[in-house]
Chains A and B, each alone.
Chain A
Amino acid sequence: MIEKDIDEQIKWAKINADVLRSMENPRRAYWITFFICIAMMACAVTAEIYQYNTGMGVTNLNNPHMWDMYIASFVFWIGMSHSGTLLSAILHIIHADWRKPIYRFAEAMTTFSLMTAGFFPMIHLGRVWNLYWVLPYVSDRGAWPNFRSPLVWDAFAISTYLSASMLFLFIGMIPDLAICRDNARGWRRKLYTVLSLGWIGSDRQWRNFRKTYLLMACFLIPLAVSVHSIVSSDFAMSIMPGWHVTSFPPYFVAGALYSGCAAIITLFVMLRYYFRFEEYMTVAIMEKTAKLTFAIAMVWTYLNLIEFASTWYGHDIYAKELLIAKAVGPYSWIFWTMLFCGMVVPFALAVEKFRRHMPTMFVVSLLLNLSMYFERWMIVAPTLSMSHDPHQWDIMWPSIVQWAIVFGSFGWFGLLFLVFVKVFPSVSMYEVKEMVFHRRRLINEDAAKVYSRRARDRKDATGEPELEGA
């Protein structure tokens, strides 16, 4: 079915009004979610205070299991951040303009999931108060971090990625902030006045803005790939069976994009409902997002299978034994759930009927992310439970403290995200206008058929755009 990504007859004033309205009066479900998030966060704060005062032992961690859910969650949240960059930077560069109504919240998701991920290495540290020692600051003792350690690379990679993606989010928002400034009153007006940096929409400003945005996009793409490769080297650089895997960097990046895309679908459905964005976050765009997710799911599936194959046909006896233990050992139900939800469930995305049904997509996307969480956990825990020395084999299940903190991290992420979408425009107004502007040139039916699939300017299109308001 050929369908328009967006109704090109939509008036620009309506776009402004709709998006600005979303910042004022969301549905009640928004507030319910908001308070649920605060409650979840309270669980985590309580658990963390307890753990901080008592010691790491309350998490049930023990000698072989030095890492567990905290590290799995860390990898999970870092992974989640990747699709924001995919949508906002990669799709920007390849001129896929259907991204425009949804990239803003995806980019916000990037920033906030990084901010969530950043907590986990801190929470899991034995002496978190000495965290800054991993940074190369000037110390009177001349002590430096150990630059050979992947954990130090993590610190650099994540802080770089976080600052770059925050900057990218902010830069892309400047024209919209100016619109908000012109329509707001009270504290909001003051805030937007500062943040819009005196944007008046002059030609010169637009030119500089385009260049900066493109530059940031180009800067961010290699960064996104390198960040998760570095996270994967936390495992791949070790000598442990199941961790010491050469294919981990691409595997992690694929998994990251996968879970990120699934999260975009989840948030897509939620925002569409909360803020009545049915006209912008259309079913057609959902379909495209779902197809993208499906493609990435297949890449991930492939990489997953070759990882098993290379272990199976390899001569690393420890790794092979571990692989068998994953499939039939005490953690096997997690392993099989992960494979089912990660490899079989995505085929729902290949069915058009499912792709067009929002509640189904919501459930499917949550299942995909469940699989991705399990995947990270299956990387971390079974290796530790069954490493080289059989005397130290052990089965460990995380305690309530770990659960509470991981649970609360979702609350923290949700809280940040919900505050963001209330304070800042979660749909990019100026880019939706651009999209509408280009689509208006294709008013005739034949062209629309082409352009609903391939977003590209056509010089000989009939029907000049209407230049109302700017």
Chain B
Amino acid sequence: MSLQNIMENWSNYRRGAEEGGHHKYEHRWGMAINLDLCIGCNACSTACYAENNLAVVGKSRFAKGQAMHWLRVERYWDESQNKSSSVTPDYPEEGASFLPMMCQQCNSATCEPVCPVAATYHTPDGLNAQVYNRCIGSRYCSNNCPYRNRYFNFFSYYESSWPEPLNLQLNPDLTVRDKGVMEKCTFCVQRIRAAKDKAKMADRKVQDGEFTTACAQACPTGAIVFGDRLDETSKVAKLWQQHEVKLGVYKQHKQNPEKRGYRIFEELNVDPSVMYLERVRDTGI
């Protein structure tokens, strides 16, 4: 955020997300997650660990809430109808709902304005980028994220998480973050980068389905669909259109209320880029 940038783009900066914001987007990467298809297998989360060099913090730190899972599968239970004594309230046997939750890449992200050093900012790709080198660890971004999807390196994990020879499995396309740095889901920005470079070399546009994120790739049921929202022909754009979910609004006005698409906490006007498709239940539980 240089002074020159501020001077030149001042009037643009005053436009809110409802008016499209101040960005001239090249892409707007987005997702559609079908909760009907999600079986809660955590393959997406595991794939994310492998792809993004996420630290495995160990049991005790996990229990303390210091885990680094950029993508977590949240589990919720409905009120149990089963009154039998074998079902404890802590571990109900039936009725679990799963919600894969990663950074929603909000278009008016609440984490961005509060960072004192502008370590997190919006890219022309519609991504909410995190610059590890710039981060000083004030952790305000995480406090201001309604999804609580920003993870902080509370310790230096390199030696404990990847003892030799496990360090050889690290993905060379991105860094291993050291202690004191905030990190979060990037929509596998290294893959996006590679695909864009490849497309540029071939002098064409990035095509839908040319690449996908690690979580979408690993999902056995294909619940996660990733793509460019600006590309009208992409699978994700079609899904958004089909379910009448729009960007840049804080309340969806649907012609057909039966459509299942929704965005989490969109009433907070954070304008997330991930659409969820509500789960349809066929039983009473």
* A residues lining the B interface (CB < 8 Å): 54-57, 60-67, 121, 124-128, 130-131, 133-134, 142-152, 155, 234, 237-240, 384, 387-392, 394, 396
Contacts and interface: CB of A to CB of B under 8 A. Distances in A.
B136 A149 contact: no
Interface stretch (B36-44, B81-89, B153-161, B222-230): B153-161
Interface string B40-66: 000000000000000000000100111
Contact of B1 (A65, A134, A146, A390): A146
B188 interface: no
B65 A130 contact: no
A119 B147 CA distance: 30
Interface stretch (B27-35, B112-120, B205-213, B272-280): B112-120
A66 B152 contact: yes
A65 B143 CA distance: 8
A239 B146 contact: yes
B118 A66 contact: no
Nearest to A151: B116
A126 B65 contact: no
Contacts of A131: 136
Interface stretch (B164-172, B177-185, B234-242): B177-185
Given A127-B181, A150-B140, 5 more contacts: A57-B61, A126-B137, A126-B180, A131-B136, A149-B114
Interface residues of B, number: 47
A387 B2 contact: no
A63 B143 contact: no
B194 interface: no
* A63, A67, A128: residue with the most chain B Cβ atoms closer than 10 Å: A63
B128 interface: no
A149 B66 contact: no
Which of B148, B151, B152, B182 lies at the interface centre, i.e. has the most chain A CB atoms within 10 A of its CB? B148
Interface in B118-139: 118, 134-139
A388 B154 contact: no
B211 to A, nearest CB: 29
A391 B116 contact: no
B2 A144 contact: yes
Contacts of A56: 137, 152, 154, 179-180
A65 B144 CA distance: 11
A55 B146 contact: no
A238 B110 contact: yes
B137 A125 contact: yes
B115 A149 contact: yes
21 contacts: A55-B180, A57-B64, A67-B143, A124-B139, A125-B138, A127-B135, A143-B2, A143-B134, A150-B114, A238-B114, A238-B140, A239-B110, A240-B146, A384-B143, A387-B146, A388-B265, A389-B101, A389-B147, A390-B76, A391-B76, A391-B99
B173 interface: no
Interface of B: 1-3, 61, 64-67, 72, 74-76, 99, 101, 110, 113-118, 134-140, 142-144, 146-148, 151-156, 179-182, 265, 268, 270
Given A237-B114, A389-B148, A151 B65 contact: no
The 5 A-B residue pairs with the shortest CB-CB distance, nearest first, are A126-B137, A126-B180, A57-B154, A62-B65, A146-B118
B113 A149 contact: yes
B148 A145 contact: no
A143 B136 CA distance: 14
B117 A133 contact: yes
Contacts of A124: 138-139
Contacts of A238: 110, 114, 140, 143-144
Contact of A388 (B117, B142, B147): B147
Nearest to A54: B155
A389 B116 contact: no
A16 to B, nearest CB: 49
A151 B138 contact: yes
A62 B155 CA distance: 11
Contacts of B181: 126-127
A125 B180 contact: yes
